[in-house]
Amino acid sequence: EVQLVQSGAEVKKPGESLKISCKGSGYSFSDYWIGWVRQMPGKGLEWMGIIYPGDSDIRYSPSFQGHVTMSTDKSTNTAYLQWSSLKPSDTAMYFCARQFRQVPDYWGQGTLVTVSS
């Protein structure tokens, strides 16, 4: 069974760093792109970028380029999304999703990030 399990909710202060994770199982992790999606409170879905674990090819949305970093660890079948300096506007739910033949078919349960002083 394909599963993406994300790390738990985080509460951080502005300026702090953060790395959240998305662990895949039930399929060949290296062979499928992993996308990240932001959902701000009460708002819609926004594509942040996508990474291919096989060779770490990354495509960032211009809206998020330079503010987040995507990475993967093939040895643990885990994808990561990190911030070096959080802002209150980063408060949102973050989802990872597997892309299979251009279809985001399986999604993680989401990680809620709250940034507040």
Partner 1 sequence: QSVLTQPPSVSGAPGQRVTISCSGSSSNVGAGYDVHWFQQFPGTAPKLLISRNTNRPAGVPDRFSGSRSGTSASLAITGLQAEDEADYYCQSFDTTVSGSWVFGGGTKLTVL
Q: Which residues would be at the binding site for partner 1 (CB under 8 A)?
A: 33, 35, 37, 44-47, 50, 59, 61-62, 95, 97, 102-110
Nearer to partner 1, 10 or 46 (CB): 46
Q: How many Å apart are CA 92 and CA 95, to the nearest integer?
A: 10
Q: What angle do CA 18, 35, 87 make, to 5 degrees?
A: 30
Least distance in angstroms from the C-beta of 32 to partner 1: 13
How far apart are CB 9 and partner 1 at their closest, in Å?
12
Quote the least distance from Cβ 61 to partner 1, whole Å: 6
Give the residue with the Cβ less far from partner 1, 37 or 79.
37
Query: Considering beta carbons, is residue 37 or 75 the nearer one to partner 1?
Result: 37
Strands 78-83 and 18-25: antiparallel
How far apart, in whole angstroms, are the C-alpha atoms of residue 41 and residue 50?
22
Q: How far is the CB of 38 from partner 1 (least distance, A)?
A: 11
- Nearer of residues 66 and 75 to partner 1, judged by Cβ: 66
